[in-house]
Amino acid sequence: MHRQTIRAESHALEPPLWTMGDTARWGSAGLIVLVDAVWLGATGRSIAPGDLQQRVTLIVWLGCAAAALVLMLHGPIAKRGPAYRTLAQRLRAGQLAILTQALAWLVVFTGSVSVLSYLLVSIGPPLIDAKLAAADAALGLDWPSLYQWVKAHPQIDSMLRWAYMSGQSQLLLIAVLIGVAGPIRLLRELLSNLLVASALLSLVAACFPAAGAFHHYAASSAINHADLASFSHFFPLRDGSLKVFALSGMQGLVSMPSFHTTAALFYIQATHWSRWVLVVSVPLNILMICSTPTVGGHYFVDLLGGVALWVLTTLMLRWMSGARRRGTRPHRLPRSTASQPV
């Protein structure tokens, strides 16, 4: 009897394999894919076939892995043999299924939102670089001087470049760490943060595009050719000459707000469950934020925009989570009707 009670309690503590949040995230990712497909077709643009095939293959494999893990818990064999189900629970099959599904979503989401960002750049409204540079100057911040100082110290430049390039690797590593050893709610929260922040980012970038500090200061300062090349797709997108998008070579073309800054704060937020992980996450992501002006070509005010985006996203998700809880809370009937037959 005691063992049955423990087994029931452990089963009750398992995170649900699918939630309303998963439905919302997959639905949103599917909508982005649909918008991309229609927009690409209407404008004569396309995605490199090889890149698209690789993504689809990876998604299929991850989907099969997630299905296999779910079957370990709820398939015919698990129903016939309690010992098999217990083994699956000890192997954390449920959390691994959620992790695998999350990785599949990230593959879909990152690819589709990158394509959408390119399509938004192609709209071509007036650039706001002069205003962003003026805002830096009003704050007493000299971007060209900082850039030249960093380039004069190669070791610092290399360290900042490494931190900036760690963004995607961090996302994958944090997702796996949470899926294997951490609370699943933080993984789902991280995915929702990325989704909402990307939606807000797209709205801002579509209406107020900027070519970035590298291009803005290229005429008056000695900007490294490699730095300029890292944003080489921006103007070909605006003039319509770039027609084929290679998913393996997409560039981050949004200047304001700085999404690297926002993502760094999300990563710190997602790693607070472990003191040991946080010890690494905090300094690394602070360094990533510091790298955004000289490696990412961001204006200083872009960083402030990234912080504001993080705050707004966090508040929006808290509000939506609270509204959902209020909506699912059972309502007590008035006494005058509680005893009446239904």
On the question of pLDDT at 261 being above 50, the answer is yes
Q: Is residue 10 part of a domain?
A: no
Look up the domain containing 294 and give its range.
17-321
Q: Is residue 202 part of a domain?
A: yes
pLDDT of 339 reads: 36
pLDDT of 6 reads: 38
Torsion angle defined by CA atoms of residues 110, 258, 154 and 213, in that order, rounded to the nearest 10 degrees: 120
Q: Which of 59, 57, 51 is nearest to 30 (CA)?
A: 59
Q: Is residue 163 part of a domain?
A: yes
pTM for this structure?
A: 0.88
Q: Is residue 331 part of a domain?
A: no
Q: Is residue 84 part of a domain?
A: yes
pLDDT per residue as tens digits for the range 271-295: 999 999 999 999 999 999 999 999 9
Q: Is residue 50 part of a domain?
A: yes
DSSP structure string for 284-340: HHHHHHHHTTTTT---HHHHHHHHHHHHHHHHHHHHHHHHHHHHHSPPPPPHHHHTS
pLDDT per residue as tens digits for the range 298-326: 999 999 999 999 999 999 999 887 776 66
